[in-house]
Structure 1
Amino acid sequence: MLDDAVPGSARTVSLIRIDPVAETDDLVQFMTSSTFPFHGTAAPTPADVRQALAEGRYQSPELDSFWVVDGCAARVGFLRLEDVQDETPMFDLRIAQQHRGRGLGAAALRAATRQVFETLPQAIRFEGTTRVDNLAMRRTFLACGWVKEAHYRRAWPVGDGRHVDAVAYAVLREDWVSGTRTPVTWEDPPEVPTHR
């Protein structure tokens, strides 16, 4: 279990590993009791969650899932680490609707970063991607020392045939250890003449 303080308060969040078999009903309840407007399925149904459980999308050799628990022992969120055997794990973070706007996302991201770099020795970087209009998550990345690395134009489907831009952020292990930020070099090589 890892704890991380919420900035400006004495509250903490902990990550507690989920047992998807024993906690099936709890996962169904959590996932269906809030809407998650910036995720692929904004309002999962109980059938969606049970199918994901049956397909191993909560626990597998490549996935690890946790409850985000606040200092009062309430489950305030869900965190799934993805690609945990790779050098660049990713994540899915969901804070319950009634707990949003209180800094718990930042505390959860800090705890997730610690979890990755303290328990996955092969991880050299930790990455997350979100929609361009998810300003709360983008601010959370920056507040936690992450750096924007990519902007994907019209890469995130939002339904009815529309797509919005997606943005990717990451933190390097050495930056996390040293408390620094290595900026991205954005300069392109000189333009190559094109022939049409």
Structure 2
Amino acid sequence: MFTFERIDPVAEAQELINFMTAQPWPYHVNPHPTAEDIREAIEAGAYRDDENDSYWILHRTLGRVGFVRLEDLEDPTPLFDLRLAEEHRGKGFGKDLLLSITIWLFENNPQFARFEGQTREDNLPMRKTFVRAGWVKEAHYREAWPVAGGGAVASVAYAILRRDWETGVTTPVPWDDDPQ
């Protein structure tokens, strides 16, 4: 259902600027990036360098529906920044999209043993998507996500292990192992 087309952030700078500034990103640290914010990020390598790589998300019938950036690519556990265009939100794409990203990452990057994502505690659609796609909640960082114009909210981390993805068997988190 979804494929990924690598972005050349320099050649496609205006397309990237248009996409990132055309709609709000209510669950991101900067919900209203400016053209200058995006230009600066492009120049800093935030969309492509040794640690980051970016892709347009293509739907088989709808065309370009979003953007995903893979982050921390020199670490054994990359993260992602997912942005679905406003007109495509709430249409039930989440689980299939996250499964597609997971499959693509693990099939094309044998060095990665885990794949991680974080979202705000109040982003219930994304949190449900993680669970439905077989990801496991691993952390709840209290007051760790800055919110423009308000107090910080919790950041909630989910991950999937390569072996869980390969076998379909979820490795549980040992929540009850605190020393007494």
Query: Which TM bucket (shorter chain)?
Result: over 0.9
2:106: which partner in 1? Answer: 117
The residue matched to 1:136 in structure 2 has which SS?
A: helix
1:104 corresponds, among 93, 97, 121, to 93
% of aligned pairs identical? 52
3-state DSSP of counterpart to 1:189: coil
Which of residues 49, 52, 75 is equivalent to 1:60? 49
Alignment correspondent of 1:178: 167
Given that 1:95 and 1:105 are in contact with CA atoms closer than 8 Å, whether structure 2 keeps it comes out as no
Aligned Cα root-mean-square deviation (Å): 1.3
Secondary structure (helix, strand or coil) at the match of 2:41 reads helix
1:48 aligns with 2:48: no
Q: Which runs of 5+ in 1 are unaligned?
A: 1-11, 192-196
Deviation per CA, 1:40-59, whole angstroms, max 9, x where unpaired? 11011111111111111100
Number of aligned residues = 180
Q: Which amino acid aligns with 1:79?
A: V
TM-score by length of 1: 0.88
Runs of 4+ off more than 3 Å = none
Look up the match of 1:3: none
Separation of aligned partners in 1, 2:86 and 2:10: 25
Give the structure 2 partner of residue 4 of structure 1: none
Contact 1:85 1:122 in 2 (8 A): no
Deviation string for 1:102-134 (max 9, x for gaps)?
122322211221122112222110001110000
- 1:154-175 alpha-carbon deviations (Å, 9 max, x no partner): 1111133511111100000000
- The 2-side partners of 1:184 and 1:124 are apart by 16
How far residue 73 of structure 1 moved from its aligned partner, in angstroms, is: 5.1
Question: What is the Cα deviation at residue 190 of structure 1?
Answer: 4.3
Q: Return the alpha-carbon distance in structure 2 between the equivalents of residues 15 and 136 of structure 1.
A: 22
Task: Indicate conservation of the 8 Å contact 1:64/1:80, yes or no.
Answer: yes
Bigger radius of gyration: 1
1:187 equivalent in alignment to 2:176: yes
Specify which of 81, 84, 98 is matched with residue 73 of structure 2. 84
